[in-house]
């Protein structure tokens, strides 16, 4: 377990010196910032016409799915592929570290980086909610009495689960390839498939077949549950299975590398 | 400390190492000598737990390399051929990372201790990306020593170093080899002679000779080869040189050079020099040619074939 943490910490630190990570952080924060501002503006417009619900955080968290599809491949492509190319994989595979610990450490490092970006987006709910301590208003409230905290919690949990699943799949592809570009594009294809394509047959088919495709689509589990404030065990199971699948693939790929 | 028994590794249809059997004791420095592609790196990778063998067993530091790979890896220090370094880390960060992976307490002190051993303490906070090739090699060695391993496996430890650094690294290896087991690979004969207690010569995945460096040398020093260079024609010179008593295997080379051999203990060089000068040539050079590794292999494999025929 300590090995996972050692590797995760090294990976997390590495993101802060890599230009790609900054580009990813910049793009995610810029996009969510614009979406937040536009949404807030339109809510205010509606408020003057005295209809529409109170603003909440779901437009920001909702945009994360699309952003993660594009950015996670860039964050995961080098994780194991680069170690293999640089020869440092030989160092890690001859250190007293289990293959799974190596893979899980890489995944956790990526997850911590995404969580750091997510932490920055907490500024949006804080802006909406304001900061009031006793009778003293530090930041004026835009929504009274407060924003929907359960919705916020569930949306963020959803984003974290989507990120964790994407990262696990990305680590898997990075373990399979020695070439970063190959890892990038195969990861991106897998995400496009899981996020958009796999859900299409559901709208054409009917009955059980449609249900199966609906269940397989990641969007269903995110937009129709977490991002609406609903937390179901089936959705959690779906994401945990994807994480397990990704990490298992990566571990197996590392083992195969030893044997070849 | 290292007991290898019938180790075999196939890469697809190609057999990289074939039924290797050898051992190494504590306090012994064993040299693995062989040309590129002989199977040195493959053997070392198997012994360090990087890859499993196709067949055979090996016990390293008391543990089986396949069954108890993690225990072996805890006790082995390994410097791979391509030195595995992270350019974005400073020397001390890198060593601390390795120490943490090996769960060494007070990793900071141990990182500095390892840096002292390889003379890099004053560059502790420099980024590895800015290091010269020699410094990188020494960083790799520091990483292999940080956990004070019982067994140290070094793949070409002096490659790419300048002569002064080579001397320095050899000194470090001799020092650590006093109480621990060191297995190192090299394709430099003199290096094996200088640091190793015992040399294994490996070719095409098989051990072709195993002995102390002194014994190997005397086995091979049955004759010595010399090059003579003059201002003039090689062919003419070779005729003159061949006439000297005790000279064998005369071979004319380009630009006025001739190579010949004589048996050990029967030095014919003065006679050759005299003959060359008397024939009116201007003598430019006369020097012994060491047997190259390739020639040693030819010699050894020829010997083996010869012995087999005789027996």
Contact B50 A91 (CB under 8 A): no
- Joined tokens for residue A141: 């409230």
Shared domain check, B234 and B130: no
The answer to whether position B51 is within a domain reads yes
CA distance B119 to A39: 61
B83 lies within 8 A of chain A by CB: yes
CA distance A66 to A60: 11
Cis peptide before B152 (omega within 30 of 0): no
Closest chain A C-alpha to B28 CA, distance in angstroms: 22
Residues of chain B contacting A98 with CB distance shorter than 8 Å:
70
Percentage of residues of chain A with pLDDT beyond 70? 99
CB A125 within 8 Å of CB A23? no
Assign residue B100 the CATH number of its domain: 3.40.50.300
- Joined tokens for residue A73: 């491949």
Q: What is the pLDDT of residues A97-107, one digit of tens each?
A: 999 999 999 99
Residue B310 has a pLDDT of 46
Interval A167-194 mean pLDDT: 96
The answer to whether position B311 is within a domain reads no
Q: Which residue on chain A is closest to B82 by alpha carbon?
A: A87
Assign residue B232 the CATH number of its domain: 3.30.70.100
Region class of A78: left (phi > 0), else alpha (psi between -120 and 50), else beta = alpha
Interval A122-151 mean pLDDT: 84
The full DSSP string for B62-130 is: TEETTTTHHHHHHHEEEE-SS----TTSBHHHHHHHHHHHTT-SSHHHHHHHHHHHTT-GGGTTSBGGG
Residue B311 has a pLDDT of 44
Contact A97 B101 (CB under 8 A): yes
Which residues fall within 8 angstroms of residue A123, CB to CB, at 6 or more apart? none
Closest chain B C-alpha to A188 CA, distance in angstroms: 27
Shared domain check, B118 and B38: yes
B149 lies within 8 A of chain A by CB: no
Shared domain check, B131 and B194: yes
Q: How does B206-232 read in b/e, with b if 16+ C-beta sit within 10 Å?
A: bbbbeeebeebeeebeeebbbebbbeb
C-beta neighbour count of A54 within 10 angstroms = 13
Q: Which residue on chain A is closest to B96 by alpha carbon?
A: A6
Shared domain check, B253 and B137: no
Shared domain check, B203 and B80: yes
Closest chain B C-alpha to A63 CA, distance in angstroms: 33
Residue B308 has a pLDDT of 47
Please report which helix (H) or strand (E) contains residue B41, including its range.
helix B40-47
CA distance A141 to B78: 61
A228 lies within 8 A of chain B by CB: no
The answer to whether position B250 is within a domain reads yes
Closest chain B C-alpha to A14 CA, distance in angstroms: 8
Q: How many residues does chain B have?
A: 311
Best A14, A85, A90 member to test B by mutation, with max B CBs in 10 Å, is: A90
**What are the C-alpha distances in Å from A166 to residues A107, A110, A171, A188, A245?**
10, 10, 9, 10, 11
Rounded to 10 deg, the angle between the A99-121 and A19-48 helix axes is 40
Residue A206 has a pLDDT of 87
Instruction: Report whether pLDDT(A7) > 50.
Output: yes
Contact A10 B97 (CB under 8 A): yes
Q: Which residue on chain B is closest to A102 by alpha carbon?
A: B101
Last residue of a domain, one of B183, B198, B219: B219
Please report which helix (H) or strand (E) contains residue B33, including its range.
strand B29-33
CA distance A167 to A8: 13
The answer to whether position B99 is within a domain reads yes
Residues of chain B contacting A91 with CB distance shorter than 8 Å:
78, 80, 84, 98, 143
B129 lies within 8 A of chain A by CB: no
Please report which helix (H) or strand (E) contains residue B200, including its range.
strand B198-203
Q: Which residue on chain A is closest to B86 by alpha carbon?
A: A88
Domain region containing B194: 2-219
Contact B97 A6 (CB under 8 A): yes
Shared domain check, B236 and B187: no
Shared domain check, B206 and B260: no
Residue B136 has a pLDDT of 92
- Please identify every stretch of chain B with a pLDDT value under 50, giving residue numbers as ranges: 306, 308-311
Residue B141 has a pLDDT of 92
Which residues fall within 8 angstroms of residue B310, CB to CB, at 6 or more apart? none
Q: Can you name the residues that pair with B3 across neighbouring β-strands?
A: B23, B59
Residues of chain B contacting A178 with CB distance shorter than 8 Å:
none
B residues 93-112 lying closer than 8 A (beta carbon) to A? 97-98, 100-103
A259 lies within 8 A of chain B by CB: yes
Shared domain check, B233 and B212: no
Contact A94 B78 (CB under 8 A): yes
Q: How many residues does chain A have?
A: 260
Average pLDDT for chain A = 92
Contact B82 A2 (CB under 8 A): no
Shared domain check, B76 and B20: yes
Q: What is the pTM assigned to this prediction?
A: 0.85
Residues of chain B contacting A17 with CB distance shorter than 8 Å:
88
CB B209 within 8 Å of CB B202? no
CB A166 within 8 Å of CB A191? yes
Best A2, A18, A95 member to test B by mutation, with max B CBs in 10 Å, is: A95
Q: Which residue on chain A is closest to B12 by alpha carbon?
A: A260
Q: Are strands B29-33 and B55-60 parallel, antiparallel or unpaired?
A: unpaired
Contact A87 B78 (CB under 8 A): no
B9 lies within 8 A of chain A by CB: no
Residue B14 backbone phi and psi in degrees, to 5: -85, 130
Contact A96 B101 (CB under 8 A): yes
CA distance A258 to A48: 66
Shared domain check, B271 and B248: yes
- Joined tokens for residue B155: 């793949």
The answer to whether position B176 is within a domain reads yes
Q: How many domains does chain B have?
A: 2
How far from chain centre, in Å, is Cα A70?
11
A19 lies within 8 A of chain B by CB: no
**Among B260, B120, B292, B289, CA closest to B189:** B292
A residues 29-88 lying closer than 8 A (beta carbon) to B? 86-88
Q: What is the pLDDT of residues A25-78, one digit of tens each?
A: 999 999 999 999 998 888 888 777 766 677 888 889 999 989 999 999 999 999
How far from chain centre, in Å, is Cα B242?
36
CB A158 within 8 Å of CB A223? no
The answer to whether position B299 is within a domain reads no
Residues of chain B contacting A95 with CB distance shorter than 8 Å:
73, 98, 101-102
Contact B101 A7 (CB under 8 A): yes
The full DSSP string for chain A is: -HHHHHHHHHHHHHHTT-HHHHHHHHHHHHHHHHHHHHHHHHHHHHHHTT-SPPP-SHHHHHHHHHHHHHHHHHHHTTTTHHHHHHTHHHHHHTSS--HHHHHHHHHHHHHHHHHHHHHHHTHHHHHHH-EEETTEEEE--SSSS---HHHHHHHHHHHHHHHHHHHHHHHHHHHH-SSHHHHHHHHHHHHHHHHTGGGHHHHH--HHHHHHHHHH-HHHHHHTTGGGT---HHHHHHHHHHHHHHHHHHHHHHHHHHH-
Interval A4-17 mean pLDDT: 95
Shared domain check, B165 and B198: yes
CA distance A83 to A104: 15
Last residue of a domain, one of B219, B252, B276: B219
């Amino acid at each position: 377990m300590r090995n996972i943490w050692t590797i995760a910490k090294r990976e997390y630190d590495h993101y802060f010196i890599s230009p790609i990570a900054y580009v990813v952080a910049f793009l995610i924060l810029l996009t969510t910032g614009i979406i937040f501002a536009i949404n807030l503006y339109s809510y205010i417009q509606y408020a003057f016409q005295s209809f529409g619900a109170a603003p909440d955080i779901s437009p920001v968290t909702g945009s994360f799915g699309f952003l993660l599809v594009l950015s996670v491949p860039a964050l995961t492509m080098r994780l194991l592929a680069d170690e293999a190319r640089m020869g440092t994989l030989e160092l890690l595979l001859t250190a007293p570290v289990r293959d799974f610990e190596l893979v899980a450490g890489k995944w956790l490092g990526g997850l911590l980086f995404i969580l750091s970006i997510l932490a920055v987006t907490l500024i949006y709910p804080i802006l909406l909610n304001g900061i009031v301590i006793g009778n003293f208003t530090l930041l004026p409230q835009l929504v009274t009495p407060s924003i929907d905290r359960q919705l916020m919690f569930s949306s963020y949990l959803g984003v974290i689960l989507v990120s964790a699943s994407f990262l696990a799949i990305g680590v898997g592809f990075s373990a399979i390839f020695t070439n970063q570009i190959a890892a990038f594009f195969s990861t991106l294809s897998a995400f496009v498939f899981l996020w958009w394509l796999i859900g299409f047959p559901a709208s054409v088919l009917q009955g059980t077949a449609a249900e199966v495709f609906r269940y397989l689509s990641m969007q269903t589990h995110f937009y129709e549950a977490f991002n609406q404030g609903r937390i179901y065990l089936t959705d959690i199971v779906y994401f945990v299975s994807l994480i397990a699948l990704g990490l298992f693939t990566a571990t197996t790929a590392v083992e195969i590398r030893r044997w070849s | 400390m290292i007991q290898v028994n019938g180790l075999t590794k196939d890469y697809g249809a190609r057999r990289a190492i074939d039924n290797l059997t050898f051992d190494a004791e504590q306090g012994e420095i064993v040299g693995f000598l062989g040309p590129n592609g002989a199977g040195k790196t493959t053997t070392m990778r198997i012994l360090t737990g990087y890859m499993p063998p196709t067949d055979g067993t090996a016990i390293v530091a008391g543990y089986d390399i396949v069954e108890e790979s993690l225990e072996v890896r805890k006790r082995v220090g390994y410097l791979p051929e391509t030195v595995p370094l992270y350019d974005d880390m400073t020397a001390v960060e890198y060593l601390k990372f390795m120490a943490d992976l090996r769960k060494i307490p007070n990793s900071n002190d141990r990182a500095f201790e390892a840096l002292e051993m390889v003379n890099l303490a004053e560059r502790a906070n420099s980024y590895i990306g800015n290091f010269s090739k020699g410094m990188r090699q020494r960083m790799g060695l520091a990483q292999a020593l940080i956990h004070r391993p019982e067994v140290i496996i070094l793949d070409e430890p002096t490659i790419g170093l300048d002569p002064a650094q080579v001397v320095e690294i050899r000194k470090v290896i001799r020092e650590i080899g006093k109480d621990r087991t060191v297995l190192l690979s090299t394709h430099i004969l003199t290096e094996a002679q200088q640091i190793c207690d015992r040399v294994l010569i490996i070719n095409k995945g098989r051990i072709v000779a195993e002995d102390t460096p002194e014994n190997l040398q005397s086995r091979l020093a049955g004759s010595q080869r010399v090059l003579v260079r003059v201002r003039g024609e090689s062919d003419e010179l070779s005729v003159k040189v061949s006439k000297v008593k005790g000279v064998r295997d005369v071979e004319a080379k380009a630009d006025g050079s001739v190579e010949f051999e004589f048996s050990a203990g029967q030095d014919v060089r003065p006679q050759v020099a005299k003959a060359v000068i008397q024939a009116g040539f201007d003598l430019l050079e006369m020097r012994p040619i060491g047997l190259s590794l390739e020639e040693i292999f030819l010699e050894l494999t020829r010997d083996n074939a010869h012995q087999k025929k005789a027996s």
